[in-house]
Amino acid sequence: MEIGQLLSSRTRYMSASEIRELLRWATVDVISFGGGMPDPSTFPVEDIAKIVSYVLEAYPHKALQYGPTEGIYELRQEIAKFSETRGIKAQAENIIITVGSQEALELLGRVFINPGDVVITENPTYLAALQAWRVYEPRLVGIPMDENGMAVEILEERVKQLKAEGARIKFIYTIPTAQNPTGLTMSQDRRKYLLEVAERYDLLVVEDDPYSYFLFEPIQVSPIKALDKTDRVIYLSTASKIFAPGLRLGWVIASEEVVRWFNLAKQSLNLNTSNLVQYIFLEGLRRNVVLKNLPNVRDLYKRKRDAMLAALETYMPHGVSWTRPSGGMFIWVTAPPQIDTKELLKVAVTQYKVAFVPGHGFFVDQSVRNAMRLNFTYPTFEQINEGIRRLALALRGA
């Protein structure tokens, strides 16, 4: 039977994620800096085992049953408390539980984006966010970054222009802390400025915050959501990096109205996030597993970052530059301009046995072709050193 003729027109925007394709290679003899996986040694396995026993003993009928679309009330309360430690004031009613942060990205597209609507992002930004929204046909506008994050003055100029053109701006998307893919962190001043711009032009801000527990430097920043007095920030976070990605549990903190729309949209997507998984994370928060483990994990990742920076310093040829990430999971490498990293990847994987994510897909217009993203959390220290050595050889050979 011929499927091609039956496909919806939006399937033309669905393309295989390079990151996901790369995950497949992680099993073979290739050293992979692709993906964005935590180091599995950081998973609180014993705590989770104890927690599951308790959950199945204490409230098995709730944990194994259907639940409300927005998530279990106690978990939403507990996340509100957890967020308070970072200065975010929220009630359970401001929170919806999602199947990872990825589902929150989908909900944003679904609830807000009509074809031609403007979405403003850092450029580069998280590839899978762009991918999630493309089926809704937004006009993506990228704002350049420097070591202090999104260039907010340029943002304001662009917003002014766009408004003058009559463009419908739906939201500004930012990963202000330890950004994916660059590892850079937006300064506190810029956070305030960004929020001022949003207020001045009455715009929504989406703050995607998976990494702020992994700042390796003593940078003083607060979540933009913590500065938000006018309920215009939609804040996303996830258990994937601070607990375990195998749960697929994320959350959104926003105004009750936004939560209500996300709730309606989520009903059709999957009814609700696994109750069992929600109870596991609830107990994880109650027992302080997350905050207890964080210092060790942060220290491990800092050392891995440092190992990768040192290896880059040691092996990379002249003309290659990279960011010094203040936190998170990635280093962003820029090769000499004549190198196309998509081409390089083929050679790197087949001949040099090392993988990375080419930078193209992180740009709203795929305009930059000589960049790549390297993950330093998943590989071992040995793999980091050896992999960077191989990557340098591949670059020298290119």
Q: Of 23-42, which residues contact a second copy (CB under 8 A)? A: 23-24, 35, 37-38, 40
| 82 membership: H or E segment, kind and range | helix 73-84
Q: Are strands 233-238 and 204-208 parallel, antiparallel or unpaired?
A: parallel
Residue 97, interface with a second copy (CB under 8 A)?
no
Instruction: Work out which of 273, 370, 377, 385 binds a second copy, going by CB under 8 A.
Output: 273
Q: Is 310 in the site for a second copy (CB under 8 A)?
A: no
- For a second copy, the binding residues in 113-172 under the rule CB under 8 A are 113-114, 117, 128, 131-132, 135-136, 170-171
State both tokens at 395: 């670059």
Q: How far is the CB of 9 from a second copy (least distance, A)?
A: 6
Nearer to a second copy, 127 or 312 (CB): 127
Considering just the CA atoms, what is the radius of gyration of the chain in Å?
21
Please state, in angstroms and rounded to a whole number, the distance separating the CA atoms of residues 33 and 373. 8
Q: What are the contacts of 308-314 at 24+ separation with CB within 8 A?
A: 308/374, 308/376, 308/384, 308/388, 311/384, 311/385, 311/387, 311/388, 311/389, 312/388, 314/388, 314/389
Instruction: List binders of a second copy among 183-222 (CB under 8 A).
Output: 202, 204
Residues 35-94 binding a second copy (CB under 8 A) are 35, 37-38, 40, 43, 45, 48-49, 52-53, 56-57, 60-69
Q: Write down the least CB distance from residue 392 to a second copy, Å.
A: 28
**Least gap, CB of 197 to a second copy (angstroms):** 14
**What dihedral do alpha carbons 364, 365, 369, 372 form, nearest 10°?**
10
Give the CB-side neighbour count of residue 86, counting CA atoms within 13 A.
Answer: 22
If you search the block for the tokens 């997507």, which residue do you land on?
269
Report the residue number, 44 or 149, with the smaller CB distance to a second copy: 44
Q: Which of 17, 187, 380, 383 binds a second copy (CB under 8 A)?
A: 17
Residue closer to a second copy, measured from CB, 111 or 219: 111
Amino acid symbol at 127: L
Residues in the interface with a second copy (CB under 8 A) total 87
Closest CA to 181 of 383, 371, 338, 387: 371
Q: Helix axis angle, 73-84 relative to 275-286, nearest 10°? A: 40
**313 C-beta neighbours (distance < 10 Å), count:** 10
Q: Which is nearer to a second copy, 15 or 314 (CB)?
A: 15
List Cα–Cα distances, 297 to 292, 293, 329, in angstroms.
10, 6, 12
Binders of a second copy among 379-398, rule CB under 8 A?
none
Least distance in angstroms from the C-beta of 362 to a second copy: 16
Q: Interface with a second copy includes 296 (CB under 8 A)?
A: no
CB 174 within 8 A of CB 122: yes
CB of 139 to a second copy, least distance (A): 14
Residues 324 to 353 in contact with a second copy, rule: CB under 8 A: none
Q: Which residues inside 225-254 make contact with a second copy, applying CB under 8 A?
A: 230-232, 240, 244-248
Of the pair 2, 29, the CB lying nearest a second copy is at: 2
